[in-house]
Amino acid sequence: MLSQRLRNAALQERVVTAEEACSWIQDGMTLGLSGFTAAGDVKVIPKVLVERVKREGKPFKVNVYTGASISSEIDGILAEANIVNMRLPYQSEKRMRGRINEGNVNYMDQHLSHTAELLRSGAIPPVDIAIVEAVAITEEGHIVPSTSVGNSHIFLSQAKEIIVELNVAQPLALEGVHDIYDPGHQGSRQPIPLTQAGQRVGTTAIAVDPAKIRGIVVTDQPDVNSAIVPPDEETEIMAQHLLNFLKDEVVAGRLGPNLAPLQSGVGSVANAVFHGFLSSDFKDLEVYSEVLQDSVFELLDADKIKVASGCSFTLSPKKHEEVMSNLDKYKDKLVLRPQELSNNPGLIRRLGLIAINTALEVDIYGNVNSTHVMGTQMMNGIGGSGDFARNARLTFFCTKSYAKNGKISSIVPMVSHVDHTEHDVDIIVTEQGLADLRGLSPRERAKRIIENCAHPSYRPQLLEYFEEALQRGGHTPHVIEKALSWHGKFVKEGTMLAG
């Protein structure tokens, strides 16, 4: 049985226990873990490592690089054990977030397409040990990833040693879904030949030098993704605004009937939008995104989507089960790529994507904060949102107009942290409405955002600020001493509401 999954005879001798593999990990090392969301993350070694470190009771820190977030369980126990020095490029876990915000973990929040380049150029410490989940190892000793690709190819190519978690709970039928392409070094690189969302340009396994594979640990735990937040009334309204806008763009001749390849972030709004497509007239859609969530498969089932390219399958437990046992049905419509391809600026621009991402807050001039609550506390990270927002043909940012029961306005005079500048933001969507900012100067944008997107209870306050700012003048008028006063007020008084 195992020989189906471990096809290189010489490597069969490298099967070891998790404990043994774990013993190779030393204090001060940099680990490159597979995983993009809980999809395809390594499930056993980190746990055994944490136990070992606890048992040994000696000072121990490692750098942990991943594709993006990994399962809460793994990031959580790493955080609890406090054994992480540097963490990159993304996380979304409560305990890890806590460590980051208390300054205990050096978090490098990165554009998800950047990590591979930073490793190639030597800008960040190199990976000592790559630990990746696989569904199989080929006769050549090459690695067939499981439900995500993420940064695995670059970790594997740069690591001195490799540990494989060969997960028999992940279907072998995943083989063939991946498309592994390594662009090579900057300066001696050929153009990436991809010109269509569903095109294959690489190989189905990650080529590695089998000699580097020091150990193979057989595992059998499924991915544990969190349940998808179902659309609520407000996210459904936001989705409708967005879909109506896209329909109007088709009528105006600015988009074709099949739109353009779609990217969407994780989360409730993205999910609601994709649900909205289900009952829309759009068809033959294409997806070129990071995570492929439940809704992508529903759209595939409904024959709305022709092809979907991503770098991970992030599925609810129920959908995971369903998809994994019917992979053959989807296989020719799916591609999983390294994240430096799914998020590649050149490809995003070449394909002309429609990018849909979520903001924490937006200011009246269209600058977006997706990461820092009240300017200081890290929520998750910028993730791939910048790769897409900057380079897409159309960039949407969605957010409810308020948070914390109305104590916070998500439309503010000035965002308390900038992840996406006004230059990279085309359209703002809230449950109140949609603001198309294309072709507008900052003063024009302010009017449109306040009118169309702000919550009515904050609209007068925003207008008052804007009027006062106009008295001061400037291309982007501000009352500089009041620009962040709403955040100051919330921190002190627990509300942004005036009066």
Q: Give the footprint of its own copies on residues 420-439 (CB under 8 A).
A: 421, 423, 426, 438-439
Q: Which stretch, 39-47, 236-244, 260-268, 322-330, contacts ligand COA (CB under 6 A)?
A: 260-268
CA 73 from centre of chain:
18
Got the DSSP string for 107-142? E----TTTHHHHHHHTSSPPPSEEEEEEEEE-TTS-
| Minimum separation from the CB atom of position 385 to ligand COA (A) | 3
Name which of 277 and 458 has its Cβ closer to ligand COA. 458
**Residue at 341: amino acid letter:** L
- Choose one: 127-135, 165-173, 254-262, 357-365; the region binding ligand COA (CB under 6 A): 357-365
- Closer by beta carbon to ligand COA, 40 or else 267: 267
SS3 content of the chain, % helix, strand, coil (to 5): 35, 20, 45
One-letter identity of residue 327: L
Written as one letter, the residue type at 495 is: T
Residue 360 binds which entry of ligand COA, its own copies, none, with Cβ cut-offs from 5 to 8 Å by kind? ligand COA
Does residue number 408 form part of the binding site for ligand COA (CB under 6 A)? yes
Q: Which of 357, 401, 452, 461 is the binder for ligand COA (CB under 6 A)?
A: 357
Residues 242-301 binding its own copies (CB under 8 A) are 252-254, 260-261
Per the annotation, the verdict on 133 as an active-site residue is: no
Q: Tokens 């302010």 map to which residue?
A: 446
- Pairing between strand 427-430 and 394-398? parallel
212: CB partners within 8 A, 6+ apart: 156, 159, 160, 161, 162
- Kindly identify the residues of this chain, within the stretch 366-395, that bind its own copies according to CB under 8 A: 367, 372, 374-378, 382, 386, 390-391, 393-394
**Considering 133, 286, 290, 361, which one is annotated as catalytic?**
290
Residue 78 CA to residue 52 CA, distance in Å, equals 12
- Choose, by CB under 6 A, the member of 6, 29, 360, 496 that binds ligand COA: 360
**Cα–Cα distance list, 274 to 258, 288, 487 (Å):** 14, 13, 33
| 385, 432, 452, 461: residue in contact with ligand COA (rule CB under 6 A) | 385
Please, what sign has the CA dihedral across residues 416, 421, 422, 426? negative
**Binds 375: which of its own copies, ligand COA, none (CB < 5-8 Å by kind):** its own copies
CB-nearer residue toward its own copies: 318 or 423: 423
Which residue in 66, 314, 370, 395 binds ligand COA (CB under 6 A)? Answer: 370
Annotate each residue in 262-301 with x if it binds ligand COA (CB under 6 A) or - if it does not, as one string: ---xxxxx--------------------x-----------
294-301 and 268-278 helices, crossing angle to 10°: 10
Tokens for 428, please give them: 């703002």
Least Å distance between CB 361 and ligand COA? 4
Q: Which does 368 bind (CB under 5 to 8 A by kind): its own copies, ligand COA, none?
A: none
Q: Are strands 361-363 and 368-369 parallel, antiparallel or unpaired?
A: antiparallel
Identify the H or E element spanning 394.
Answer: strand 394-398
Calculate Rg over the CA atoms of the chain: 23
Could you tell me the CA-to-CA distances from 386 to 239, 290, 391 in Å, in that order? 21, 12, 8
Work out how close the CB of 476 gets to ligand COA at its nearest, in angstroms, rounded to a whole number.
14
How far does the chain reach from its first CA to its final CA, in angstroms? 70
Query: Which residue number, 113 or 152, has a Cβ lying nearer to its own copies?
Result: 113
Binding its own copies by CB under 8 A: which of 214, 331, 350, 447?
Answer: 350
Contact residues for ligand COA, defined by CB under 6 A: 265-269, 290, 357-361, 370, 373, 379-380, 382-385, 400, 403-404, 408, 410
